[in-house]
Structure formats: structure tokens, C-alpha cells
Amino acid sequence: MIKQFFYLAFNIWKYDAVYVWFADYHSFLPVIFANLFGKKSYVVIGGYDICRDRKLGYGSFYSSFRGFFSAFTIRNCSLNLTVSNYVDRKIRFVFSRVKHKMVYNCIYLDSPVDFALEKEKIILCVAVIESKRTYLRKGIDTFLELSPLMPDYKFLVIGPKPSALSLFPDPMPLNFKVCERLPHADLIEYFQKASFYCQLSRIEIFGVAIGEAMLNRCIPLVTNEGGMPEVVGNEGLIVPRNAQLIVKAIRVMEEMDTNTRREACRERILEKFSFDRRKETLLSELNQI
């Protein structure tokens, strides 16, 4: 914040506006300087900055210190840009008088159009896991329960940091594998192979990885939390946090025309969450303020 202060003090006059991802202590000074110098300020509310979950210790408002900075930012910026209707509702409920507009995230992954439709019996989950809190928040415990119930499938989690590998059981089920975080571009190969994508999170504001999987024709299974249902729409499955019922949902889906559904998954992402759509909507909103 000291570096921010001096940078803004000497450079804010060069800029037309301030644009910040997330409301937190890092957004406090930029919004203050924008107001002092008559500049517009736009803050993307990604979800963490409007949440408080005491059980998981998650969200800016779980801490009174960070909550103060988040609240100040949200109340004093020119426009809050929410990334899902779920976040937009929370902003409207907690901060009823602030300006806000929902602009969906985009799914920006260089995925080929014509790769083979043949899928392997892989159920995938991508999650950056660094602690027990993120392990539980991403629903990995429920995902792990599925593997012994479906021995004909391989279960793969990509994203845990080395320090978090100890959270997984030893030994793990024979059909369950954990892979450390990969470069973003390398995920395409796994998305293309997987039949299903599972995101069984307890808190999930949007779900970019869900959209990336759908773009690569994975059928998504998600819990009814946060913005995930907005991403999957009618093309995915909304499942309860119950391993037995999730297995039944997958087995039912296997009997259906999965290739048609896979194409519908891809088309939904291209239609609703494209880079061009976000760009057009975002610039339109910025120009109106």
C-alpha cells in the first residue's frame, strides 16, 4: 500500500479511469485517488470480496480488517461489476444503494473445434488446492467418495499444490489420481479426454474451469452453489452433495445421447461466455458511467 500510495500520487493524473479486480485492501487507495482526482473507478466483484463463511473461514467479510476495505471500495467506486447473477444479488442485498452491473466472465481457452468426439472414461476436477479450507470449499472430499463407487471410471484432480498433497488419503483408491497444477494451456488435453467434469464446491462464485470443460465437450456435474448453475444451464447436471445420488445421475446420463449434449455444452459457452461478448458488454457499461 505504501508503493501504491506513491505511485498513485505521482501518476494518477495520467489515467482516465481506475479498473480493479476484487474489492479488498489493494483497491482502497486506487478508489480514493480516483475520487480525489475526478476519475472513474470500476471494481470487478469476483465473489470472495462479498462473502463471509464462518465455517470455512472464507471471504473478505470473515475478517473485519479486510471487510472494512472491501465495504469502502464497494460503496465508493463508480461502478461495481459483478461476475454472476449470484454475486449481483448479494451486492444488491448487502449494499442496496451502490451502482452495480452484472457482466459475466468469459471462457478464453484456445480449444480446437474439430477434435475427436471419442471420450475416455475419465471424470475430471480442476481446483487450485493449497489448504484444508480450499480442499473442503472445492468439495474434493465428496469427489473422492465417488471413486470407489465407480470403478469403471478414472478420477482425476488437477491443481493441488505440493503442500496440499498430504490432504489426500494414503493410499488413494486405485482409480483416483492427483496431478499438481499445470500450465493453463496444458489443461486442454485433459478436458478433451474427460467424459464428465465435476465441481462439487461448497462455495463457487462462477466456475471458469466448468466453462472450459464444457467448451471441450465435457458434461458438467455441479452442486447448486453460487454461480455454477448459471454456467451449466440446462446442459449440465445439478447434483446434491451425496455420492450415491451423483453416481445414479451419471449412470442415467450414460444412457442418453451424450454426443448431442456435449455439442450443446460447447455451444452454450460459445454463445453466452465468449471473449467478444464480455468485451462488448464491458466496454458498453464503462462508457455509460
Q: How many domains does the chain have?
A: 2
Do 254 and 126 share a structural domain? yes
Q: Domain for residue 162, yes or no?
A: yes
175 has a pLDDT exceeding 90: yes
Do 155 and 52 share a structural domain? no
Q: Domain for residue 155, yes or no?
A: yes
pLDDT of residue 244: 94
Do 96 and 195 share a structural domain? no
Do 181 and 43 share a structural domain? no
Residue 214's domain is classified under what CATH number?
3.40.50.2000
Do 174 and 100 share a structural domain? no
pLDDT of residue 111: 65
pLDDT of residue 117: 63
115 has a pLDDT exceeding 70: no
Q: Domain for residue 14, yes or no?
A: yes
Cβ neighbour number for residue 227 with a 10 Å cutoff: 23
Q: Is 276 exposed, middle or buried (0-12, 13-18, 19+ CB in 10 A)?
A: exposed
Q: Residue 63 — very low, low, confident or very high, per pLDDT cuts 50/70/90?
A: confident
Do 280 and 268 share a structural domain? no
Residue-averaged pLDDT of the chain: 91
Do 258 and 237 share a structural domain? yes
Do 159 and 57 share a structural domain? no
Do 260 and 128 share a structural domain? yes
116 has a pLDDT exceeding 80: no
Strands (E), the chain: 17-21, 40-45, 79-82, 100-102, 122-126, 154-158, 176-179, 196-199, 219-223, 237-239
Q: Residue 144 — very low, low, confident or very high, per pLDDT cuts 50/70/90?
A: very high
pLDDT of residue 118: 79
Do 266 and 131 share a structural domain? yes
Report the amino acid identity of residue 66.
R
Supply the range of the domain harboring residue 178.
Answer: 122-272
Do 264 and 216 share a structural domain? yes
pLDDT of residue 287: 85
pLDDT of residue 184: 83
Do 97 and 168 share a structural domain? no
Q: pLDDT digit string (tens) for 218-274?
A: 999 999 998 999 999 999 899 999 999 999 999 998 888 888 899 999 999 999 999
